[in-house]
Amino acid sequence: MNYIFDFSFLAEGIWPLLEGLKTTLLLALGANVLGLTVGFVVCLMAMAPLWVIRLPAKLFIEFFRCTPVLIQVVWFFYCVPILFNVFLDPITMGVLALGLNLIAFNAEAYRAGIQSVPKEHHDACVALGLGPWIKTVHVIFPQALRNAIPVLMTNGITILQQSALVAIVAVADLMYAGKILATDTYRPLEVYTTVAVIYFLMSLPISQVVTYLERRQDVSVER
């Protein structure tokens, strides 16, 4: 191997990458806000006793879980404006495309968390005369959230990494900035290595927190 790595271009080229990083963080943050909030609502709909509520939610979950994220992103950016005459800025479209995918996965995480709540707690709510809303918000949701946090955080890491797919539709995120910089500097190995390291440094702390939380949950279960 005669190739010599040269990262000197980063002295000036790092700034476009940092601008792209801001867009990546906006996309990941927006998608996670949607996934954490709407995901729980979709979860409740998917567990509803009425099929007219349950069926659309389950179809939504299965569609977004069983189709590639890349196809979803491309479909949103090119098909939604044509079919529905809806034109939004690229960041908003990216957040929606990634967020809807995350909603589906988080809904399943919440469902597993709700199902892990002991049946005795449900019975206690009935015995105390708590209404469905009070029961859901003050009893079921806190426990389901605690149980689902490791999976939700893992899903958050995944959507952060998958946000790189918006570069395909020319959204100026970290990956897109890296592609432009690689073309300008003729240093694709160095540029994409730098981009990979940035993604790694963003994901590693979160993954360590997930590991810590999983260990704490294992200890609490053993007790």
Q: What span, in angstroms and rounded, lies between the C-alpha atoms of 219 and 131?
A: 33
Biggest CA–CA distance in the chain, Å, is 75
Report the domain count for the chain.
Answer: 1
Locate 162 and state its tokens.
Answer: 């998958």
Judged against a pLDDT cut of 80, whether residue 1 lies above it is answered with: no
Q: Give tens-digit pLDDT for 86-105.
A: 888 999 999 999 999 999 99
Q: What 3-state DSSP class applies to 131?
A: coil
Q: What span, in angstroms and rounded, lies between the C-alpha atoms of 176 and 178?
A: 5
Do residues 123 and 60 lie in contact, with contact meaning Cβ atoms separated by under 8 Å?
no
Locate 119 and state its tokens.
Answer: 């049946």
Query: Does residue 172 fall inside a structural domain?
Result: yes
Query: Does residue 84 fall inside a structural domain?
Result: yes
Judged against a pLDDT cut of 80, whether residue 2 lies above it is answered with: no
Do residues 45 and 56 lie in contact, with contact meaning Cβ atoms separated by under 8 Å?
yes
Q: What is the pLDDT of residue 219?
A: 63
Q: What span, in angstroms and rounded, lies between the C-alpha atoms of 50 and 112?
A: 20
CATH of the domain at 27: 1.10.3720.10
Judged against a pLDDT cut of 80, whether residue 211 lies above it is answered with: yes
pTM of the model: 0.89
Query: Does residue 59 fall inside a structural domain?
Result: yes
For residue 104, the enclosing domain spans: 22-177
Query: Does residue 214 fall inside a structural domain?
Result: no
Query: Does residue 1 fall inside a structural domain?
Result: no
Q: Give tens-digit pLDDT for 21-30.
A: 999 999 999 9
Q: What span, in angstroms and rounded, lies between the C-alpha atoms of 101 and 156?
A: 11
Query: Does residue 189 fall inside a structural domain?
Result: no
Query: Does residue 193 fall inside a structural domain?
Result: no
Query: Does residue 93 fall inside a structural domain?
Result: yes
Q: Give tens-digit pLDDT for 128-163.
A: 888 888 888 888 888 888 889 999 999 999 999 999
